[in-house]
Each structure stands twice: as C-alpha cells, then as structure tokens.
Structure 1
C-alpha cells in the first residue's frame, strides 16, 4: 500500500510541477505540492501528532468568551496552551495561522504598559551616555538611547518599574515571618527529589540563569535600582559601566582593529560564584563573538576594512569599534535566537513534542484598524518580574550538591535554619569577589586556563554541558526549594515587602486571569493550602513571590513544557514577547544593514536542522569541535534529558528517533582538521564513500562502470555540438541589451555556466523532464536541479561547518532519493516496459510532463553493461548518482574560475589568445584545454588541500585528476573548452562595471592555510560560485 501511495504522491507532485509557469518573474522557483501529495502528507502528520482541537476544548473556549472582559479567564482550562497547539499544528503558510499569531503576539505585548505607568522610585538625575553618531546603529554600553522618545528607558542604573500598583492595605506587621513561610511552604524535604515532569534538564535552567542575569542586577545598597539594562543585550558577556559586579567593557576587548574580545572572557563576576553551567555558556558566546568578528572582517562586505588592520591608532580604533559593535549586534541576536527557539521552545514544550513552531515575535503587525503594532519602543523591567524569575525550586541534584558545598564553606558550616540575612550578606560580600580584577584571569568550576592561549579546555567545558544535559531539573511547586537557599528566599520575601508589590490575586487580575477565591483553589494539596491559610488568613493577602512559588504547578502537556505555577506560566509569555519586540536591536534595528548581510543570515534558524530550529546546537557544535557528533541527541536537545526525549519520540512513533545517537557523546581523541569549521578541504575518498552510503544505502556501487560508459558516450562527435548549442542558447536567452549602449550583459555564472551541465545531464544522461520555454510542462527547473546537485556535492566532497552537516545531509538525501527514483523509473521502463504499477504511474506522469527520451541511448547502454556484472536497477541508479551528480557543480565551478582568471587585468594577452582560438573554431579545443591546465596552477580556489595527509604532509590536489563524472580529465578536456569557446567568441567580452563584474568571494586563513570562499545569494559561504556579470558588444 505504501508503495502505491508513494507512486501516487510522486505523480501528483510531478503533475503539479508541470502545470507551474515556466517564468516565475523573479518569484519562488519551488512548485507547490500536488493536491493528492499534500493530502497524503497531512494525513500522515495528523496520525503522528494528533488533532489540534476537539470537543474537550469547548469549556476553555466558552470560558474565554464569557470572562474575557469579566472577572478573568480560568487558566486551569488551558486555553492558552490549546491556542498554541492549534497554531503549531496548522500549516505555517496558512493565512488564518498568521492572523492568529499576529493577534496573539499583539495581545501579549499589550499585557504590559509601554512605557511603564509607575516606578519604585524617581529616576536619578543623569544624562544618557554619549552615543557617537556612526553610519550604523549599535547598542550602547549601558542601554541608553534604545527608546527615541525616552532615552533613559531601560538604562542600567535606573529604578525598577512597577507593573501592578497595589491597593492592598495589609500592614507589614501582620505578614508572617519569612523564615516560617519558607519552612511551611517552600522548603524541599531532605533526601527527596522530584524530576521535572516536562523532562527539562539542568542546562535549561543554566540558560534561564543567564537570561535572568542579563536583565536583573539589583543594587546592593539600594534595592530599588537595577544595575543592568532591561534588554537581552548580553551584558553578562560584555559588561557595563554601572554594576560593581561587572567588568568594564574596555577590560574585555583587544582593541587591535579586529573587533574581537580576549579569549574565553565574560564580564559578570556574579556567575563565577554559581554552578558552572552558565559560565560555560558565556564562554561559548565569547567564542561566537570572535568567530563573527573574524568573518565580518574577512568578508568585508562594503570594502571599508583593512586586514591587517591599519597602523594608525585612530583609524585602527575606528575599525575596531565598528567591527565590535556590529559583532555585538549579531551575537546578541544569536543569543536572542537561543532564547526564542531553544529556551521558549522548552517553555512551550514544542521541542519535546517535535514541533519547530515558534512565535515570530519580531514580525511587523498591522492591526485590523490599519494601525501598526508597536515595535522597538524600549522596555523597563519591573520589580514583579524580578520576583517571578526566582526559580530555585528547579535546582537539579548536582547543582544542589554544589550549592550545599559552597554554602557550607562560606557560612562555616552553620545550620541553614540559623543563618541570618546579616550572616549571609557579610559572608557573600567576602566570597563573591574575583581573585583578580582582570577578567582574562577569571576561572570557575575548577577549570584552569591554558597558560599560553588563556583558553579553557574544550573537553572540560563540554563535560559540564553534557553533565547538565543528562541531569534532570527539579519540578516546580510548593516545598521544592533546597534548604540551603532558605536565607536567599527570606531576602526575596523581604525585598518584595520593601517594594510593596501587589498580591498574587492582584497580579492575576492584571493579566486577565480569574482571581483565586480561596487557598484550596490556589493549591489543592491540603498540607499546603492549610499552612498558607494559617499564615495569611485570606487568599487576598497572599504575597506575590510566595504565591507564585507555592501555587500548584502545571503538569506536562502539549503547549506546556516549563510546568511552573499557573500564574507564572501566563506572565512569562507576555514578558518574552516584550523583551523581544520592545528591544529595537532585536526587532526594528536588527537588519542586514546594521548586522551585515552575512551576520544577519548567520542568526537565521532552520526548522529542519534536527533540533527543530534550535540555535544552541549551532553554538555547541561550532565552538566545541570534536566534543559532539552531528547526530548526538545531547547536542540537538541540550535543554531536555535525552532519555525523556527518546521516550516521547517513541510514544508518538516519530520516525526521526532512529536518526539520533542517544548515548552520551565521547570526545574524539584527535580532532580531524576542520572539524566544526567550514573549509575547502576535500574529505578523504573513504569518507566520501561513507557519506554516499549514508545517502543511498549499501549496495553494489560500480563507479568504474559508470565512468567507462560515460566517457564512451561523451566521446562521440555530437557532444561538442550539444554543449555548444546549450551554451549559445542560454547566453542568447539571458542576455539583456543595455539601453543607450551597443552592448549586452549577462550573468554568465548563474544563468549560463551553472546551467550548461544541468541541461546536458538532465536531458542526455539522467532523463529528467526540465521545465523550459521549449518544454513548458516539464517538472524540474534547471535552477532547482543545480541547487540540489550543489547541496549533494557539498555534503559528499567537503568539510562542512559542523552545525550545517545535519541539513546538508538531509538536503543531499532528498536529492539522492529524488534522483534515484527518477533514474530507476527510466531504467525500469527500459528494462520492463510500462507494465508495472510504478511504471504505469510514471509513464502517465511523464506523458503529462512532456518528457523526452534523449537519455535512453545512454541509459540503455549502461543498463546492459550493468546487468552483465550482476547489478540491479537500484545498484545502477545509485552508481550513476554517486558519479555524476557531485561532478555537475564542480564542472561549473572550475569553468567559472577559469573565466574569472582570464578576465583579470593581468591576463589580457591570454584573453586575446582565447578570443582568437574561439574564432578559429572547434579545432582549437585542445589548445584551450592546455591553457586551462596551466591556469589552474595559479587559481587558489582550485587548489584545495586534500584532507588525506601523505606521510603527515598535506598534498595539493589538482581538481582535474582522480575525479569522476564530468570532472574526469578526458571528459573535462572535451566539454569545458566548448563552453569557454562559446563565451570567448562573444565580441569584446569583459567584466560588467562595478562589483557585479567580480565573483563575490573572500579569502581567510583556516588551519593556517589561506582558503577562498564564495558568497551565495543568501550571503552564506559556499564552495560554488553563484554570480558574475559580463558584458559584450551587441
């Protein structure tokens, strides 16, 4: 049955693709899936994930209708969760889904006042810090000038805002003793541990700690003042000029013209005295800053940087400032992606449930009245949220042990129930001081810096993260806070009272939630609600912090992953929306203009990356090379306990469960060259074979047979005519007459050189129905095929940036599956005729797609030769894929760079010779081939180092030697000169004016070797050239 459904789905897609227009007028090239194919896919998805809504959801909807503008919504009916699940299971491109998201986000944003309506104290009389005018926008050190209307809004050193003005008249003298409150409502029983019901790991709360310390730093002498900014600006990494616990930013920077920080530094000393997980995350973000800065300098998009940096001190400082500020924007944006995709994905349970859905919080929203929803208008964090984010109950068993050991040391073994606030503040004041003011010398968690590089050991950092990933966090709820934190909780309660914050019910009413009528509604556990009633007397007197922490906690369910108390669950969503939308540098100012195009795209998340769009995976793979493999569950789901993820995937019968390695990652004893870094190193032939096997499975791959048949077929005289005809036609179709000039211009790479081998291979080798003006009902656009072939070749041949390997493998697998089906269908037709289910369906689809059979000659010969050696049709199709597909982009890349080389100013004489050869006709092809062999020695991008070292030395590989398909020497010598001759036969061929006349590329040093990378149309790095505009006389 599945075979028939697959055949029908394939036919449906082919017909849909054939009906798509030939010319997309610059729009998307991708054809929509066929109606039947989409229906089959949606049914399969529904079976896996279940329906989004059902009859059980009616009570929540009715309650919302009745109480939205009344006493408040009953959050125990889970309306919020049901809406999130509904949006997550609707098609992402659904207009209804997009409208629901916009309404949902706008509503959450409006939960909090902008600007705040009240503060804990008057703002101090200070002026915003100087913000020198530059040709780009950037974050200020202390958070000034984020709001154009209120420059001091959210600045470090300003008072907390007050979200809910309280009308409670409870006198402080009638409130219970904080120590008694802790003992009765908050204290975790000794020896007991309750794992987090949503499967969250200790590492999740290490990240939560980083978020919390980014926006909260209460002044030690004046609790009304927040000494950090109200923005997710990575101030724990970059420091600020206000907090006494933060290093000054100048101590972290190198000021060498590269915009980099010193090795493995961060600016918030508070994190030295906490479990080490958070500090490790900061070290990775420091490394990420330097990685980004190096890329921005190397790519040099606007051509304004000098590398090496200028000797003049003023010019060097100006360059350093610009690269640093742009890099900070990108790195802060990357951190925000970790927060929104990994962290919020954990809060909502989306990652656990296998959904890549995330709220698009920074989107532009136009309301139904045509008014634009606010974006980037600034934020001021409030005292209420300071109390809300005290998540000590979640402390894991290893972190509790760390806290116990540390507190016993600093408190000299004094029993926790005897430690006073004065005891703790005195001891902590002595303990929480770095041994050295220089952050380059800071150490934590028992780790030591390398005395030469000043870096921490990768394996030691990774061990901390792996330990935190497999350690379950503790559940939220009453009586779940470790006893050691008793004095900290007492200080929190006293702090809330000094701020006169609202009660729990006032807070709930503010957010449109139904106030609790009694303590039993708040927490149905008799031990808890009776104790609370004895302490407070009436539910309306219940303090905010205590009420939030001891309220009944949610269980795990779709749409709920954090499982805190009900009120916390509602409020943190509003805060997450505000933190993103109100920060201009995460919304309106987070643009390619400010971040650079490369930096902007580096922050983009891919929902198909194996992590459901996780950004932390990218950070860990990039900066801890060799410590994780790309299939490790520990790196894809670091915020969840791996065994819990596996269990939930198996319960929902998720087929992806088998793609992960669920064991604890073991560090490689020797890290291969380039691991974690994208290089232009060809991987070894055995490694290439391993990757091909991963794509197409184990079978009888006979490369020699395919190469032999391919050479015999292409040795025919008609091959020259075919290549010449394809090249000339593509040049004619894509050339544009320049008005006012007697010249034409054409993107010779994107529309010609990259397409020539695609046309030839599709029509004459593989038998793919191309969609062209000559065949408007074809299926495959040449541009789409080139992109698929390039993805496959990149994965098979080269080192990849480690975070990209999962996607590259998936893309290559998709290409391999599609090509093998097409090739096998053609081979089956030639071998058995149409009298089979798949053959009949394929024939009908092929007739609809106006498919020609120009490839039959080659495929018939290959089929016959393969059968003589005992190969099956799948074996032959796999062998053909392995040999031909990777060679297509290679062929185009070499031809492109030969052309680019000969268009250089210092190659004028060679260009003249080539033009004369081209005019002389096909007889000069051998001479052009000889020119090409000589030129290759002078083109750096055509001499990648072979990753297989011979006797310990890196051998330089000639791209035309020992390479298959179109790149085998005899085939390349025969076909490439035809393409080049067609180009140089154009009259006065030359570069187009401006940057478009040059290949977008840059050279940087990787592993002590200079390597050239090309920049693709999405500003990503690629081994394949993408565009080069030339002109010629009409």
Structure 2
C-alpha cells in the first residue's frame, strides 16, 4: 500500500479520536510477539566469557504499547509501511543496524531473519524487520488508509468458508511436511479457494502470490542437469561441471579468494625462516620431545589419502602462482590426470582400462610410497569395474563392436567404458572420503553411531527448511590452499624417508641446508626428467612384472607398514626440519596473495576472534614468541597462524584429527561445499549414470563398519593377501594397536582378524572327474573346510555370543570336520529325518503315508498353488493355439482361443516351494497374508515369522556363508548378514522345540479372520481357507515331531537342547534350501535355452505320463541338465594322516587347499562321452553335484524327489518358453550367446545377476517363462 501525504489529513484532535476508536484492534498487531538477533550471529569454538555490550533477554521481548497522545508520536513508532495483511513488515539492513562500510550505500541489503533493534529508551517500541524482501517503504501518514486496510482484512475473512479453511490447513500442513498428498485433490481445492475470492481481496492476492511461488519452487530454475552428451561424463580438466558456467572450477583457472583483508599490513613482517625456527620446527622448544604423535592413534594412511585430496584440488602453477593446474573438484586427478593430454597418457584405449598400476601425477612420486600405493589401488579398482561393465553390458550399453566395425565404434566403446568406470571409481573415492576419512576426523570410528557428515543428505523443502543448492559447481580458494598444508602430521618414518630423498636429490649437500631456490630448481629438474608415459616411471624402487603391474607382495608391505605407522600431531613445533624451505615458500606465497590475518579469517567463518596470544596458543613459549613476532593478536598472519594455533583435544565423537581450532571448523565446511557442489556427486550421481551395478558396488551400508567402505578398495586390490575381516583393510586410518582398544570397547574385537596381511597359498584346481572323485572318497587325507564358516552361524547361540575375542568355536556338526564326533552328528541327522512315527511306512494309509509319498504330494500341491497365485495373464485377444496343445495340427483343422500366462519360475516357484518345504520340516513360522499363502485382504503379523521371500533370503544367506563365500571383498558382509539371520533363526528354533510353528501361525490367522468376519458365511469360508492352507503346508511326520526327535537323540549323545538346536538343526536348515532352488533353476534354464529347448516337446509328453519309466526318464533328464549347467565347486584341505611314502611333483604340501572344479569335471569326456549332449543312460552315481563319499549330501534322495516333482510340473506346461523379455544374452559359449538367466564369469565360476543388473550372487535371481492354457 502506498504511503499517503501527511499534509492531506486532519488535525491532531481528529487523529486522537480515530486512535481511541481503533483501540486494541491494532495495538496488539503493532506489538506482536516476535524475537530475533540484534546483530550477525557469532559462533564461538572456545569457552570464553562473554565481553562487551550485551543485552538481556528482556530487552529482546517487545513490551506492551504505551499510551500515545499525539499523531507525531504514533507516526514515529509506526512501521514505514502498513501491510495489507497481518505480517511482519520488511526493513532494510541499514534500518536494522548500522551500514557496514563494505556495503554500497545505494544498495541496502535486506536481511533474511526477523530482527529486533535495541530499544531507544525504556518506553520505546522495537522496530520490525521481515524475511520478505521488498522495496524500501515510504512513511505512512494516513491513519484512514491504515484503518481501511485493517477493515479490508476482516471483510476478506468473511468470504472464507469452512471448506476453504480446511484447504488452508491442508496447505499449511503440506508446507510443514514438504510433501503434498495429491490423492486429496489439494491442487484442485486450492484453485477452487482462489477462484472464490473477490477480485479486490487482499487475502486472495496474497494466496495467489504464495501459490505462484510454490509452483515456481517446485522445479529448479534453471535446471542443473542436461541431456547434452557433452555433460554425460567428467571432462578431463574438470570443465562443464556446472552446465551454465562450464569454466567454473576448471583446471587452469585462478584461485578464488574468500576473505577480504582489511587490516593494514605491517611494513616489516617477521622473517619466514625465523618464524619456522621459532614456531614450527619439530623439537623447536628447549627440552621438548622432538616428535609428537597423533593423540588418537591416527596412522599415516589417513594422511596419504589427504595428500591425494589436496593434490586433487590444488596444483599451483609455478609460472603463474594465482592459478591452479588442476580442477576444483574431487575427480581423482592424481590418478586420471588434470587435462586431456595427461589423461590420454594413463589410458590403454582398450576396453576402457588404465595402464596397469599407473597414476598420472608426477608430484606424487615426491611423497612417501604409501601415497602411490593408494592410487594404484584406485587404478586396480577402475580396471576391475570396466571389466565387469563389459560383461554385464547393462541393457546393451557396452556392446563390443564386431571385428569388422569402424575404428570410431571401438573408440566409443572404449570411451564409454572408461568414462563410466571413472564415475564409479570416483563414487567409491567420495564415499571413502565421507564414510572413512571424515568419520575418523570426527572420531566417529570410536562409536557405533550410524550418523556421519554426508553433504548429499536427502532433503525436502519444508516451511522450516530450504535445502542447500546442489551441483552448482565449485572454485577452490587461496585460503584452503594454505589450510591444507599439514606437514605437522608427517610421521617419524616418513620424515626419515624425506631426508633420504633430499639427500639423493641434492647430493653432497646437507638436506637441512638446502635453500629455497635450490629446492625449487631441484623439484623442477626431477619432474622434467620423469617420462611422460606413467608406465615408464619408476616407483618406490619396485620392478614391474611382465604384465606391467607391480608385485602384490611389495605393495601390500608398503600398505601394511603405513597402517602401523603413527602420524604426527597438529600444532606448533612439530613440522620436520626438512620441510623448512617448503614452509618458507608457503609463508611467502601467503604474503604474495595478500591473505587476510588469522583473526579476519575466523571472523569471516563465524568464529570468535583471538583476543590474546595465549588464546592463540596457551603454551607460554609459543605465546611469547608470537608476541615478539607480531605485537598484536590481530596482526598474526593467516599462515603460519593456522599451523601454530592450539589444537583441539580428542572428543568422542567430535574431534579425532585434533587440528587447530580454525582448521577444524573450516575443513568440514569445505568438505560440504566440495561434495554438494559437484554435479557428479549430487544431481547426476544416479544408477543411470553409474549403471545399477556400479552404483550398488560403491554404495555404503551402515550395518557394515557403520558405513565405512575403504575395505572395498583394499580387498579388491589385494584379494590374495588380506582376510575378508582384516583390521588392516577395514580401519586402516588408525593404527592396529589403537584399533584393538577401540573394537574391544565396542565389543567387536572378535569380528576382525588382527594378523598382518600376508600372501595366501595358491589355490590348485582339480578338474578331472576321476581325480575329484578320488579326493572326495579319501576322508583320511582330504578334509572338509566348512568348519570355520559353520561356526559363524552357530556362534550366535546364547552361550557363545558373549565371546568377544578369538575365532568362534567350531561345532560338532557333520560337515564341520572329519572326526568321530562329526560322524555322530551325521547319524543323528539321518535318523531324525527318516525314523518316522508308527504308521508312516504304509503307502496305502492315506492318513499316514510313507515319507516319499508325503514329499511328492507336498511339492505337487504347493507348486500348483504357487503357479495359480503368481501367474499373470498376458493380454492377447488374437492369440490362438492348436487344439490339442502338442504342436501338431488338429485333425479337423479347428483352432481354439488360448490364454497365455507368465510367471517367474525362479523367484515365484522354485525359491518359494523349497522355502515352504523347509518351513514345514523345521517348523519355521510363515507370515500368511497378501502375496504369501492366503489370498485375503489382511496381513497376519507374527512377531517371529517370515514371509516366503524373507525366509528364503535368510536360509540362502546361511548357505552362502558356509559353501559359497568365495569373494574376499564380500565375505565380511556375508558373514555379518549370516550372523544376523542365524540369531533370529536359532531363537525361533529354540522357541519352537516347545511349541509354535506353522500350526500356531495358521491358528493365529484364523483368530484374525474371526475378528474380521461379519456373518456366519464369511467366518465359515475363512475357516475353510485356513484349514486348507494348514493342510497343504504341513508335512505329516515332520515339523515339531522331527525337531523333537532331534532333541531326544541329541540328549542321548550328551548334547543339551541348546546345542542340538544351534549346532545341528540350524546348520542343517541352512544347507538344504537354496541349493535345491539353484539346481532346479539351472536345469530349467538349460532346457529353455537355445542349447536345450529341442528337448521340451519330449519332456512335455513324459511329464503327462504316470509310469515308473517316466519318473526314471525325468530323473535322467534332470541330472543331465544339472551336469551341463551346474556351478557347484568344493574345497578340500590336504592333511595326510601320515607322511606319504612316495611324493611326486603333483603331491601337494600338507595344508594345501584345492578347488574341485565340478563343472569342468562334469564335462570330462572320459567320464562323460559326448559331454555336451544330453545322454539318458549315464550311471546315476557318476554325478557329483551332491558330493560323494563320506560327505555326500544327506538329503540327496529327498532333494531329488522334490526337485524332479517340481520339474515335472513345470515342463508339463503347454508350449513352455522363455518370456520375450528374458533375453539375457550374457552367457557365452562355443555356439555364441544364448538367452536365459543373466550371468557373469568370475574367478570362482558363474555368478548370477538380479533383474536390475545391480548385484551378483551364486543363486539365480529370476527366469520368466510363458505357457498357454
């Protein structure tokens, strides 16, 4: 509302009358309750008494308005412009507080917080400010206008209906939550509300403006992502990170500068050499210990990563000291290069790979070798990633061109792999920075907290929160170039290494006497002499192997010794003397850049200023020298001020790096800006950019090491030297000695291996059928290796789970060893499975049939049930099939309309049916409800129950832990997951040895139905459905009775209930579900593939026969496909009972573990003539996928009976075929690529991809088929 000229109004008497008339109507409005800050907030990082002019809380609270007796007095207290509705009125910053001399007077800056000015007197009113920027208001001089405005508001309020009020409440609620539920039609209600307001309604106008603002804020303006392919990958020089400002942060641009230096610099600044000698030199104080180690046990390994980060962001051009030759982004430039030329030098330009064990940066060679080893690990990770990308070939994204294709096609293939591999590798890099590096800096590694400082935190804009911008770019500053000079942290070992390098570089001269010009010339000469090709450079005096890589043993030795090496502490007098010239250069560089003072920097970042030298550093010697050098705390230079400042004490959590006070706050702020400003870590950090597999591969899991991910890099680089749970791999930023104290306090000491990494023995592979069979038969000399992984599961028992040190105790389970106690366990399990109650041996007794008939009926009923529940009708009204369904024409040529269905035979049939069987055998409770076993609109929750999917995942996790935990980079994760599922399964089994189980669950469901039923008919149908489910899920003679047999027989062997449950029943349940589903899925995959689909018509015919011959034929068909597609591999440990009488070159050394490659053994032409074909008369004892000899699978016959029964039902589906979407095309053979399940070749055989192509595992994840009815 425009102000009105005061000269057009009446006299004071008229005004007083109007004022009394309005009275309290607007007095409370003028004195509305609000509060704010009187000046810019100031954070204090130190406990200091408050000084200076401060106001009490009472001065910030507006007091009631006093009586006003004149128009001029009221006008002096009115805001400059009355609002059209009751909101706070904006005031320019110049009105709120004195104008800073740094701000132009002609451009007053509006503030963004509500602020109260100090009162002029005890009776004066506070002025108002607002967070709504508007033009500078004019003075209001017309009380009639104010009165009209207020009356207008009340008039508008009369137009608001109860429905409109409810809409306003919903709008307000959505603004608080930051999300709108459009199911309530809130948009339409809002339009209706706005449309109902009069044209001159002030409320309507305000709501319309708010609505427009909301719509505007819904989308970014301008967008930060683009479909332009030039923005798809990182540029070599960091350009195009911000799509609107492509040069922002690009290599070769000038440093930015954050702080404006306002204090006049003294003419005669202290000599840099004297500053170093008096304030920085290690052991510089009389009688002081030369080296001060990290107070929190941080290892040199953390500072090797810090070195990579620093040289990733800062690389000053010595030709122009204002510019940086690297980008302002965390893009691993030391590995990949700072520009296209450097990047080209490190690439092979074949299959997206880097030259082996190379990195781009020459300067890194001037640092201790641990820095280079860190980069070599990233190099190896990159090459692993691009190899996997090529195999997975995400939806054809990385299809390799044919040999005859043009060079440009191969160039694109190579570049797409390289650039995507770089994005993924940088994704792991930034996660290491945030989840390992920053966690250690904040001492979070000493806690079990899942919280960390991750700038990528997902935020929703609400009424109270406006998320910080993302992907807007970054430009590094001169201040942080100086902040990150952490020479105090150099360890004693690295100090000696540096001295030796100086001595080599400056022969015949004392390293400590090297002058600054000599140093610069020497470093320049060293860089110039290095070959341009990184693969030709020497590193740590190591020799490259024939394939271009370095010997793992040497690299691991450097890494391990670096983890054990204690770093130096921050603070004064701890910089090695050898760094004198470097520090002098840093001081001179700071001066040449005209940097601010230490106090100016602190004020800029919101920290309190140092008021005394003792405040900067309480050490009296340091404080005295600072005073001698500078005279006033305000004159202390930024550098070396940030080096000599007092350091923070260790705080758990909060302070782990223990830097100087100014550094501590600043580096966290910088980390947030670096990551949140990088488009490739925020708005473009997506599965789309990295591929699903790549995104998942570098993702963190707070259940593993509380989110740390560095182990992924270390174990992937050196899989043959580290145990999967090595403390050296999981927490290398802290010395092992300190780590042991930390993990002991956290109760996790027993989770990790504390052995120093060493090379594992080579793994010989046995591939001949005869040799494999011979080893499996020889129990005396070849031992099983499953004891330790079985102990991972059984150690979760109440009596063992309290143990926090040492490896878990190996249980006396039949597969855990080859001693007599293990034989006893085998007998116990066999008798418990097969010694059925009286009456269960009569095939003709329908109430108590024999176990084979019970199992066959179970699988028949449940497979049919699962097909019925999970099949999906494919809409195809024009589809017709032959009337008889066997592929031949009907006699009369008639055709009948057909229905086509789809189902996933792996996830919906195989996994579920064998899970149901396990639930029936071991009495595991299944949750019954939607999507499970009862098709009703309720969900029955049993506290300790599982859905079918959950129970399958639990049992398969246990199986993988015992039999398939081959990948060292995943083994720790698998073991952690296995411990969790074992704890829950074991607790359920303990409870159900006395009651519960499926019957109890179904009865619970019945109770729920009773409570929901509204009439007798509904209740009767509910009871019938529950009884049907109960009958189908039950295995007569199994369940509770089998568990009881286990317990009774275990007691006779001297084992209590707990030991029987945890050491016998639990590992048995884990060993019998997932492998059955796996094998049946592989068999189906073969017969649905191009290789085996020709057998389907014959299988369809046999499946519909009911003779003994058909059972036998189907068994042979099944075993042949299992032989051709099976992936089972077994390990055996050579431990001869006595020294061999005659050793040969092929006799392994005692303690050797060998891999029995059964997939290759099953293709041995000696044992299997015509090995690539299905032959139906092979000896049934020749198949080894169930093991052989003393450790042959106990449930072999039961498993085969069940699998063949399900196989019969599935191949008996009419016109069975692969669904059109199940292309796969990832299995390669001599016949080329074939369709089917998506697979990848690994070191240990075939691995299966899930439907999202995101994860790999030993078990098939899905196979969709179609059939006709």
- TM-score tier after normalising by the smaller chain length: 0.7 to 0.9
- Find the counterpart in structure 1 of residue 1246 from structure 2: 1011
- Find the counterpart in structure 2 of residue 797 from structure 1: 963
Whether 2:998 is the aligned partner of 1:806: answer no
Task: Name the CA shift for 1:589/1:842 in 2 (closer, same or farther; >3 Å).
Answer: closer
What are structure 2's unaligned runs of at least 5 residues? 1-34, 50-175, 180-225, 767-774, 777-781, 795-808, 814-824, 837-849, 878-898, 1009-1025, 1135-1145, 1149-1153, 1159-1183, 1225-1234
Distance 2:1207 2:762 in 1: 44
Which string of whole-angstrom CA distances, capped at 9 and with x for unpartnered residues, describes residues 30-77 of structure 1?
xxxxxxxxxxxxxxxxxxxxxxxxxxxxxxxxxxx9989546211025
Distance 1:224 1:887 in 2: 68
Q: CA deviation at 1:972?
A: 2.6
Q: How many residues align?
A: 894
CA contact (8 A) 1:996 1:1028 kept: no
CA contact (8 A) 2:231 2:241 kept: no
Whether 2:1263 is the aligned partner of 1:1028: answer yes
Whether 2:1005 is the aligned partner of 1:907: answer no
Q: 2:829 aligns with which of 694, 697, 706?
A: 706
Distance 1:78 1:456 in 2: 55
Whether 2:324 is the aligned partner of 1:226: answer yes
Distance 1:322 1:575 in 2: 31
- Find the counterpart in structure 2 of residue 776 from structure 1: 940
More displaced stretch, 413-422 vs 479-488:
413-422
- Aligned to 1:755, the other structure's residue is in SS state helix
Report the structure number with the largest CA radius of gyration.
2
Task: Name the CA shift for 1:159/1:540 in 2 (closer, same or farther; >3 Å).
Answer: same
- Find the counterpart in structure 1 of residue 987 from structure 2: 821
- Find the counterpart in structure 2 of residue 109 from structure 1: none
- Find the counterpart in structure 1 of residue 1239 from structure 2: 1002
Q: CA deviation at 1:829?
A: 5.5
Distance 1:295 1:856 in 2: 46
Q: 2:1213 aligns with which of 975, 986, 989?
A: 986
Aligned 1:24-423 pairs, distance under 5 A = 70=40, 72-77=42-47, 134=229, 137-171=232-266, 173-189=267-283, 192-241=290-339, 248-256=342-350, 258-306=351-399, 310=403, 312=405, 313-369=407-463, 372-412=467-507, 414=509, 418-423=513-518
- Find the counterpart in structure 2 of residue 590 from structure 1: 685
**Bigger fraction of residues in helix:** 1
Task: Name the CA shift for 1:783/1:519 in 2 (closer, same or farther; >3 Å).
Answer: same
Distance 1:954 1:466 in 2: 29
Q: 1:573 aligns with which of 668, 679, 683?
A: 668
Which string of whole-angstrom CA distances, capped at 9 and with x for unpartnered residues, describes residues 213-249 of structure 1?
111110011100100001111111111338xxxx722
State the superposition RMSD in angstroms: 3.4
Q: 1:545 aligns with which of 627, 639, 653?
A: 639
Distance 1:101 1:265 in 2: 48
CA contact (8 A) 1:816 1:881 kept: yes
- Find the counterpart in structure 2 of residue 507 from structure 1: 601
Whether 2:729 is the aligned partner of 1:635: answer yes
TM-score (norm 1): 0.81
CA contact (8 A) 1:352 1:561 kept: no
Distance 2:1185 2:249 in 1: 56
Task: Name the CA shift for 1:146/1:1000 in 2 (closer, same or farther; >3 Å).
Answer: farther
Task: Name the CA shift for 1:672/1:155 in 2 (closer, same or farther; >3 Å).
Answer: farther
- Find the counterpart in structure 2 of residue 926 from structure 1: 1112
Distance 1:861 1:522 in 2: 75
- Aligned to 1:640, the other structure's residue is in SS state coil
CA contact (8 A) 1:367 1:373 kept: no
- Find the counterpart in structure 2 of residue 861 from structure 1: 1045
Aligned 1:462-481 pairs, distance under 5 A = 462-481=556-575
* More contact order relative to length (CA 8 Å, sep ≥ 6): 1
CA contact (8 A) 1:394 1:474 kept: yes
Distance 1:575 1:910 in 2: 65
Q: CA deviation at 1:453?
A: 1.7
CA contact (8 A) 2:1082 2:1121 kept: no
Q: 1:872 aligns with which of 1030, 1036, 1056?
A: 1056
Whether 2:759 is the aligned partner of 1:655: answer no
Q: 1:694 aligns with which of 752, 770, 792?
A: 792
- Find the counterpart in structure 1 of residue 144 from structure 2: none
Task: Name the CA shift for 1:789/1:433 in 2 (closer, same or farther; >3 Å).
Answer: farther
Q: 2:1075 aligns with which of 890, 900, 925?
A: 890
Q: CA deviation at 1:135?
A: 9.1
Which string of whole-angstrom CA distances, capped at 9 and with x for unpartnered residues, describes residues 494-533 of structure 1?
1011111111111111111111122221211111112111
- Aligned to 1:600, the other structure's residue is in SS state helix
- Aligned to 2:317, the other structure's residue is in SS state coil
- Find the counterpart in structure 2 of residue 730 from structure 1: 866
What are structure 1's unaligned runs of at least 5 residues? 1-64, 80-98, 103-130, 675-681, 835-840
Which string of whole-angstrom CA distances, capped at 9 and with x for unpartnered residues, describes residues 174-217 of structure 1?
21111111111111117611111121111111110011011111
Distance 2:810 2:1092 in 1: 48
- Aligned to 1:746, the other structure's residue is in SS state strand
Task: Name the CA shift for 1:372/1:871 in 2 (closer, same or farther; >3 Å).
Answer: closer
Task: Name the CA shift for 1:279/1:732 in 2 (closer, same or farther; >3 Å).
Answer: same
Distance 2:528 2:761 in 1: 37
Distance 2:669 2:462 in 1: 21
Which string of whole-angstrom CA distances, capped at 9 and with x for unpartnered residues, describes residues 83-132 of structure 1?
xxxxxxxxxxxxxxxx9999xxxxxxxxxxxxxxxxxxxxxxxxxxxx99
Distance 1:844 1:730 in 2: 22
Q: 1:529 aligns with which of 614, 623, 630?
A: 623
- Aligned to 1:378, the other structure's residue is in SS state coil
CA contact (8 A) 2:955 2:1069 kept: no
Task: Name the CA shift for 1:270/1:848 in 2 (closer, same or farther; >3 Å).
Answer: farther
- Aligned to 1:478, the other structure's residue is in SS state coil
Which string of whole-angstrom CA distances, capped at 9 and with x for unpartnered residues, describes residues 613-664 of structure 1?
22221111121123222333222210001212222444xx321123333343
Aligned 1:673-688 pairs, distance under 5 A = 686-688=784-786
- Find the counterpart in structure 2 of residue 126 from structure 1: none
Distance 2:1090 2:750 in 1: 55
